[in-house]
Amino acid sequence: MIKTAMLNPFFAIPAKRATVILVRTEDSRKVFPSKMNTKIFTSLETCMEEDTLLRYQKKETAIHNKQPLRCIYTGRLIPLKALEITIRAIAKMKHKEQITFTIVGKGALKKPLADLCKELGVGRQVHFMEHMPREELLAILEKQDLFVFPSLKEGGSWALMEAMAVGLAPICHDLSGMHLITSEESAWRVKADGIEKSIQQFAEVMDYCVEHPQEVAEKGKAAHERIACDFVWQSKDAVIENVLTHVRIRKCEQV
C-alpha cells in the first residue's frame, strides 16, 4: 500500500487537495510522499478517562520473589495479536514456574492456543478467561503485575492504554501504536525482527521481570504516569490547536 497508494486517484487527489491530513501512526504517515509532511499531523484517536486512572491507587503490587509474577493479556484472540509468541516464550523461560499468564478475550484461536499450551507443557502457567464487562476486567487488571502484549499491529490500543493506566508496565513490540503509546521508561519494548527472535526476547524480558519485581513496580508507575500525562482527553487540546493554527496560516497564504 505504501508504494502504490498515491497511484490511486481516489486517494491521491483528496490528499493533494487537503489542507490538513490526520494520521494515527507513523506507519500511516509513510503512505504519503515526504513533500506532504508539513500538513500531516499524527494523533491517536484513543485516550483514557480519569476514573480508570484513579484505579492505580487501588492496584496490588508484588514486591518479592516468593510470589509468582502475574502477567495478563486482554483483547481478541486472532492471528494479528500473535499470542503464540508469548506462549512459546513462557515455554522457553528458565523461571516459568514463577509466572502466571492470564488471557482474557474471545476469538477463533482460543482452542488452538489452549492446545499449544498443552503441547508445550505450560498449561499450569497459562489460564484463559472469557470476554467480560469492562468493570470486571479492570478489577482483574488491578491484581496483575505485567501486561504482555505481543500484537504485531495496533493503532490506539484501548487494551494497552487501560493496562498502563492502572499501573501495568507492558512488554510489547516497538511498532505502530505501541511505539507511540509506550516509552523506554514505561515499557519493555521488543524489536520486531522475526518471530523466533521475538519469542526469545519476550522470554528473556519475562525472566528478567521475575528476577526484578521492584523494577516491574517502578515501570508500572511510569506507565501510569505516561498515560496520565500524555493520553488523557485534555491532551488533545494541543493537537486540535496545532491543526487549527495550520489551517489559519494556509488560508492567509491563499488570500
pLDDT of residue 2: 56
pLDDT of residue 20: 86
Same domain? For 75 and 169 the reply is yes
pLDDT of residue 94: 95
Cell readout for 221 is: 508507575
Same domain? For 24 and 95 the reply is no
Distance of CA 187 to the CA centre of its chain: 10
CATH number of the domain residue 142 falls in: 3.40.50.2000
Distances (CA, A) of 18 to 13, 33, 116, 250: 9, 14, 49, 11
* pLDDT-flagged residues of the chain (< 50): 64
- What are the phi and psi torsion angles at 161 (to 5°)? -65, -40
C-beta separation of 128 from 107 below 8 A: no
Q: Provide the domain count of the chain.
A: 2
CA distance 203 to 75: 21
**pLDDT, tens digit (0-9, with 9 covering 90-100), for 154-202:** 888 899 999 999 999 999 999 988 999 999 999 999 999 999 999 999 9
Same domain? For 175 and 191 the reply is yes
CA distance 117 to 113: 6
Same domain? For 156 and 42 the reply is no
For cell 490538513, name the residue.
20
Same domain? For 76 and 179 the reply is yes
pLDDT of residue 76: 95
C-beta separation of 92 from 200 below 8 A: yes
Same domain? For 87 and 193 the reply is yes
Distance of CA 60 to the CA centre of its chain: 21
Same domain? For 59 and 145 the reply is yes
Three-state DSSP at 2 gives coil
pLDDT of residue 33: 87
pLDDT of residue 109: 96
Same domain? For 200 and 148 the reply is yes
Same domain? For 166 and 250 the reply is no
pLDDT of residue 9: 86
pLDDT of residue 10: 83
Same domain? For 24 and 43 the reply is yes
Same domain? For 136 and 249 the reply is no
The domain of 13 spans: 5-47+234-254
Same domain? For 218 and 93 the reply is yes
